[in-house]
Amino acid sequence: MHEEAGLIRLGGGVLAAIVGIAAVAWATGTGSGPRAEGEPVAPAMAQAAPGAGPAAAEAPAGPGEVRACTVEGGPVPLPDAVHEASGLALSRRSEGVLWTHSDAGRPEVLAVAADGTVRGTVRIAGAGAEDWEDVAVGPCAGGSCLYVADIGDNDASRARVTVYRVPEPDPADGASRPAEALHATYPEGPQDAEALFVDAAGRIHVVTKGETGPVDLYRFPERPQAGSVSRLERVAVLSGAEVPRPERVTGADASPDGRWVALRTLESVAFHPYEALAAGRPDGAVRFDLSAAGEAQGEGIAVGEGGVVYLASEGGKKKDPATLTRVACPLPG
């Protein structure tokens, strides 16, 4: 019996060692996958999410789970011209470019690289800038368009909001072609919103913030007319009432394959299956903690291929610079 017990203990020790070696090998793997064509290359500043454990970001998260995105690059400071970076979008025309903007001031967007380097400044011709809160790149009749969301309304008092649609410029253009002004109103009255995304068919969606009312998803008509005022359609209710500050939606983006819609807050991001969300069923979301990014005030989000996500922060208390961070948030296949 003593010999058998000794053998059992020895076998258990060998098994534990094997498991330990396998765990170390798993934890140290990068697994970020190849870079998609046209996706910005982040600087080599990779760090694991503090306290989350490497395995939390390696395996794809599933509905109902909350995982931590892994910081892969940054944060890097953005130029003073976008001291309060409110929106972020990946270019479909220019490789290695992200579009961003301030929430007020001149009606212009900046093209930046993943290391924060400015590639160009483009004035949006014919646009105003009351409260720009997000930007998206999506399809349009001309191919690829920028959609700039002048939808901010802290007091929920604006008679209408506006999305400016313009063919995506080259970073060196200086000025865009004349923008189409797509005005809209909410069926329930004015709402404060900071998030916009455009689906694979070019349909424009707005998500309210949750500060002056519930978090709701609205969409424009299929073919909004430039210069006229559309009535938005409420598609889904994402909260029953106003939500606490950490849960307010500050940015959105659709994944390049159209399968997911990312809705970010100051501290987290929820990836919703697009088909369910567009049908008014906000279930099955995959959620990630963004605290490892260390953002002062997280605002913008741009989704790339393979779970690569770029985050823009406004900066802290309007004195620290805005920042750009690359993270990895593995999604189910």
Tell whether the torsion through CA atoms of 10, 13, 19 and 22 is positive or negative. Answer: negative
Statement: residue 166 has pLDDT above 80? yes
Q: Would you state the pLDDT for residue 317?
A: 62
Return phi, psi of residue 132, to 5°: -70, 130
Q: What is the tens place of the pLDDT at every residue in 88-132?
A: 999 999 999 999 999 888 999 999 999 999 999 999 999 999 999
Q: Confidence class of residue 15 from pLDDT cuts 50, 70 and 90? A: very low
pTM of the model: 0.82
What is the DSSP track for 129-163?
A: -S-EEEEEEEEETTEEEEEEEE---TTS--S-EEE
Q: Which of 19-33, 56-70, 107-121, 254-268 has the lowest mean pLDDT?
A: 19-33
* Mean pLDDT, rounded, for 152-161: 96
Contact 88, 135 (CB under 8 A): yes
Which regions of 160-241 does DSSP assign to beta strands (E)?
Answer: 161-167, 180-185, 193-198, 204-208, 216-219, 229-231, 233-237
Q: Confidence class of residue 195 from pLDDT cuts 50, 70 and 90? A: very high
More confident residue, 32 or 305: 305
CB-based contacts of 306: which residues, under 8 Å, 6+ apart? Answer: 32, 33, 34, 36
Q: How many CA atoms lie within 13 A of 127 on its CB side?
A: 32
Closest CA to 131 of 104, 158, 164, 165: 104
